[in-house]
Structure 1
Amino acid sequence: MMKMNSPIPPEKPIYTQVQTCALGYYLRQYKTAEIAEALDIAPRTVQQWIAKFGWKQMRDDAPVELMLRQRIAYLLWVDQKHESQLKELETLLEQKYKRDAAERRRTTPKHSGGYVDEKRGRPSNKVKNDISCITAEMLADFREKTFFAYQKDIHAQKCNDELNEFRFYLKSRQIGLTYYFAFEAFEDAIINGDNQVFLSASRKQSEIFKNYIRKFALEIGDVELKGKDELQLSNGATLYFLSTNARTSQGFNGHVYFDEVFWIPKFGELDDYAGGMSIQSKYRTTYLSTPSTTAHEAYPKWTGDKSLGIDISHKALKKGSLGSDGIFRQIITIDDAIEGGATFFNMDKLRRKYPDKSVFNNLLRCVFLDDASSFFSIKSLLACKTDTDNWKDVDLESLHPVGRREVLVGYDPRGGGQGEGADDAGLIVSLKPIIKGGAFRFIERVRLKGSSYEDQAAAIEAICKKYNVVYLAIDVGGVGSAVAELVRKFYPGLTTLDYSPEMKRMMAYKAREIINAGRLQFDNEWDDLVHSFLMIRQHTTKMSNQITFVSARNKVGSHADLAWAAMHVLHWEPIDILRDDSTTVSFL
């Protein structure tokens, strides 16, 4: 029988499905902002749950080693890392190395032959980035058990002196070529002592190569590689990680890996720069990229001079072919990757995700978009890319990234304005131009898939709490009207856009005017926004013979949701923004 003064045991909390997911993320060391983004809820809500349910104590009681491994694994597979995530990963890898070293000292007898530094209690090793313990056999064993057949074929091409001077790989997305080439360069640096140079569209993209290489060193040889801008190995090899804004840098030389060449601006200029780094006869140059459009500056490099008659069909290049211009070319589609052993794709799911054949073929089957059919120019779009790390007034890790600065928000709930069958939705957040005719700076993009009206409205509300939103525009055609009805409850000043051929025409021309004038800026990593704009094409209606704009050939599930959301933002600016209507009166 319980005594009257006995404390009543607390009830076990009953979580909703969203709270359960949030707890799972939290125990895996996700940050509050990351949890909120993943679940489309406000960061403050997550913080309240942490305090209410005692999640911090629960996480603190978990094994440190398990949490460390989980967090490292999560950060390694984030393709587009923020600067803070890169710093965190570097710190965690260092902590992992120290813990492993301490464990080895604890379990290794002192008479095992190793010299122990009595002052510091660990084996003496004054050589920085000492990779002498990593052998060719260890690298070969790792390569054999890690990579698929199509990646091993590339390694064979690298070892063939007749093929490896210039290599150009056109690839599907997400087939692991960046991961493979990072290993190839790491292996080469260790075995041959050659320098390796990674040239990417942005510094953050080049850091992906660096993080992979650090992972290889830890996993293969238990070696922690240190270095901020470069990694200098104990055998004299140096690995450089550069962005495309490093055009004026001098003194770099080595094997060059030129990443995502079809998505960077001013390729010709950068290609000359890259060629200068690999001018020595022993160095090779490797280009790799997913396709963009036939109008990109790198496309002539891929096709070769017309007079040479180089066959660039998939049939001719599936296994790779050395052209008469000395460039070895290969196309690796998602089908080729699956045929070569890749087990992490579900083609039925991908076809549902990209029902438009042109989008599917461009993203996964290495088919270039025809720039002539797009209303927007890839050259002008790529010129909008910028290094947002230089935006000192924007901190995306903060609860309020731009403080009380005014922002504009555009939301397309219909997946590119193509009807209710689409399940993609896009949202763009832009800083309001400071001056008349100033630049639009896009600071955040959000994509929602298959979300309910309530979830879409909740995601928009989270944005409104995060920023000082002074303009919010939503397309109310199709499912948009239901979303708008919910949004208006917390944002009464909502601007609704009811698409008509005339309105879409006006939005498209206004957007092109701003883009061509260089008045739009967004992060170097936003290739998905570039691709989204390239899907917009001009179209003549059958019934009224009016010119309008569409974003999918079959009007089902286009990939242009971000572009339409962006055009909603740019629609904030009047058509005649640069017209001076001021009146001047003179007295003589």
Structure 2
Amino acid sequence: MLNREERGRIIAGLKNIDCRAYQKQFIQDKSRRRIVLKSRQIGFSFICALEALVEALEKGRSQLFASASDRQSRIMIKYVRMFLTKYFDIAPLRASDETVVLANGAELIALPKNYYTVQGFNGSLYFDEFAWNRDAKKIWQVLVPSTSEVRGRITVLSTPYAKRGKFYDLWTDEDTKYSKYEIDIYKAIELGKPIGGCGTVEEYIQELKDDLKDPEFFPSAYECKFIDDKDSYIPLSLIEKVQKLDPDELYNQEIWLGIDIGRLHDATEITAVGENENGIKEVKFIISLYKETFAVQRKTISDLFKKYNVVKCYIDRSGLGINIYEDLQAKFRNRVIGIHFTQKNKEQMAKNLKRHIEEKSILLLKDREAALHYSAIKRIATQSGFKYDCERSKEVKHADKFWSLALALRPFSKFKKKMKTRRYSR
């Protein structure tokens, strides 16, 4: 397939690509089936794109990239084009954001995430972030047969999601024919991942946590830990069915705000809810303020009143929230309503939110971190009844996005008896 000059360029180019030990081990594995449970940001999309390109050049076999989002698939093609020009000095026959066609006829294709439109391809398959693909089972059924005729390879890689779904089943299958790799952030660092100029590994890990600004999501994002939602008050399987939206610019649309106040240990979470022409509630945006001063929080919330048509703002006035509530209530009067987080109020709000999701009368943002918050709440039996809370640990805090959404939905009760709202004046 390759002439001597082209092969020489590839060999020279590969020598100039800095691969870490775990990446080298992975591409040296010639198994036909491989599965990788991995941390985020450790270079597996990069190395898979390189491996796929080399196979396409050497064997003339097409390469198919199926990701949880169209954008992620196009990133693989972006890497392919970069390798061709920067390292191999080989011109493709044709190239776009979705497809690269080589002179030998092999194609590298970023497949659309819609399983209805991915049939008819043959080649080696790369499933990227497969645990997060909403239609993973259907995509699998449609695409895997495309490898058989050409003896293509199947590579499945992902950060973990819930303890269910096709990726989880593949990973936990004791009789699997797949070659398995598990690389969390700590192992990646041990095997050569740079720590971004930080002095110590501990400093780098803390920087990742500070950047992520979501302790609940860190174990899934970086430590290869699946999420156990079997005891969740609202399981991920329900949440996923209504996660359909991207953030909205809103223009002059009416919105209702829910704000759960935090300061040092928890973020202040702001959720905006609107209503579409069919009466379905929609989450328009979520703002997270992590370790921000109360002055910054007050200004951020006040700016939302100026920018958007805020009908009502429901704010947690318990504990830390009291001062911000009083300042905002003085400024925006009856548009700001304070809610005490009593056990009774939390139960009413939690039940109302769950009913909206069950009845699909609300559409949520396609936000994986928010989904983890929504599923983190558990219904816990106590001597005085039930409470709705998270299991507390370093990683799992208060599921603040859950409560900010529950607050925003407070005026839209799904129960016959309206939830009482008590207004507090200064």
Q: TM-score range by the shorter chain?
A: 0.7 to 0.9
Matched, 1:272 2:120: no
In the superposition, relative to structure 1, how do residues 250 and 353 fare at CA in structure 2: closer, same or farther (>3 Å)?
A: closer
* 2:265 match: 422
Contact 2:258 2:272 in 1 (8 A): yes
- Given candidates 361, 367, 372, the residue that maps to 2:225 is 367
* 1:565 match: 404
In the superposition, relative to structure 1, how do residues 150 and 432 fare at CA in structure 2: closer, same or farther (>3 Å)?
A: same
- Give distance in 1, aligned partners of 2:210 and 2:374: 21
- Given candidates 355, 369, 375, the residue that maps to 1:528 is 369
Matched, 1:341 2:199: no
Shift in Å, 1:384: 2.2
Q: Percent identity?
A: 25
In the superposition, relative to structure 1, how do residues 424 and 328 fare at CA in structure 2: closer, same or farther (>3 Å)?
A: same
Matched, 1:497 2:339: yes
Query: Which TM-score applies when normalising by structure 1?
Result: 0.62
SS at match of 1:253: coil
Shift in Å, 1:432: 1.9
Show the 5 A alignment for 1:26-175.
135-143=9-17, 145=18, 147-157=19-29, 160=30, 163=31, 165-175=32-42
* 2:111 match: 242
Show the 5 A alignment for 1:259-298.
259-298=128-167
In the superposition, relative to structure 1, how do residues 356 and 221 fare at CA in structure 2: closer, same or farther (>3 Å)?
A: closer
- Aligned residue pairs, count: 404
In the superposition, relative to structure 1, how do residues 173 and 565 fare at CA in structure 2: closer, same or farther (>3 Å)?
A: farther
- Give distance in 1, aligned partners of 2:127 and 2:145: 13
SS at match of 2:108: strand
Show the 5 A alignment for 1:387-402.
388=246, 401-402=249-250
After superposition, give the CA deviation of every residue in 1:491-543 in whole Å (9 maximum; x if it has no partner): 3311322211122222222222222233333454x1111122222222234xx
The structure with more radius of gyration: 1
After superposition, give the CA deviation of every residue in 1:127-167 in whole Å (9 maximum; x if it has no partner): xxxx9699321341233x2x32112211112xx2xx2x221
SS at match of 2:319: coil
**Structure 1 vs Structure 2 CA RMSD:** 3.1
- Give distance in 2, aligned partners of 1:300 and 1:487: 49
* 1:546 match: 385
Contact 2:170 2:176 in 1 (8 A): no
Contact 2:60 2:105 in 1 (8 A): yes
After superposition, give the CA deviation of every residue in 1:86-141 in whole Å (9 maximum; x if it has no partner): xxxxxxxxxxxxxxxxxxxxxxxxxxxxxxxxxxxxxxxxxxxxx96993213412
* 1:447 match: 288
In the superposition, relative to structure 1, how do residues 336 and 480 fare at CA in structure 2: closer, same or farther (>3 Å)?
A: same
Structure 2 stretches of 5 or more lacking a match? 196-200, 419-426
* 2:305 match: 464
Contact 1:505 1:548 in 2 (8 A): yes
After superposition, give the CA deviation of every residue in 1:217-252 in whole Å (9 maximum; x if it has no partner): 343256697324423233322222223324344322
Show the 5 A alignment for 1:280-319.
280-304=149-173, 310=174
Q: Which has the higher contact order (CA 8 A, sep 6+)?
A: 2
Contact 2:73 2:110 in 1 (8 A): yes
In the superposition, relative to structure 1, how do residues 412 and 297 fare at CA in structure 2: closer, same or farther (>3 Å)?
A: farther
Contact 1:355 1:557 in 2 (8 A): no
Contact 2:215 2:397 in 1 (8 A): no
- Give distance in 2, aligned partners of 1:508 and 1:297: 30
SS at match of 1:239: strand
Contact 2:115 2:142 in 1 (8 A): no
- Give distance in 1, aligned partners of 2:359 and 2:183: 37
- Give distance in 2, aligned partners of 1:504 and 1:578: 16
SS at match of 1:251: coil
SS at match of 1:402: coil
After superposition, give the CA deviation of every residue in 1:432-467 in whole Å (9 maximum; x if it has no partner): 24344x2x3323222221100111122223333333
Query: Which TM-score applies when normalising by structure 2?
Result: 0.83
Contact 1:265 1:379 in 2 (8 A): no
* 1:417 match: none
Matched, 1:519 2:367: no
Contact 1:292 1:362 in 2 (8 A): yes
Matched, 1:201 2:44: no
* 2:325 match: 484
After superposition, give the CA deviation of every residue in 1:351-379 in whole Å (9 maximum; x if it has no partner): 67899997543332212222222222222
Contact 1:356 1:552 in 2 (8 A): no
Matched, 1:411 2:259: yes
Contact 1:454 1:486 in 2 (8 A): no
Contact 1:132 1:234 in 2 (8 A): no
SS at match of 1:325: coil
- Give distance in 1, aligned partners of 2:54 and 2:82: 13
SS at match of 1:368: coil
SS at match of 2:230: helix
Contact 1:256 1:286 in 2 (8 A): yes
- Given candidates 52, 76, 82, the residue that maps to 1:185 is 52
- Give distance in 2, aligned partners of 1:167 and 1:381: 30
SS at match of 1:205: helix
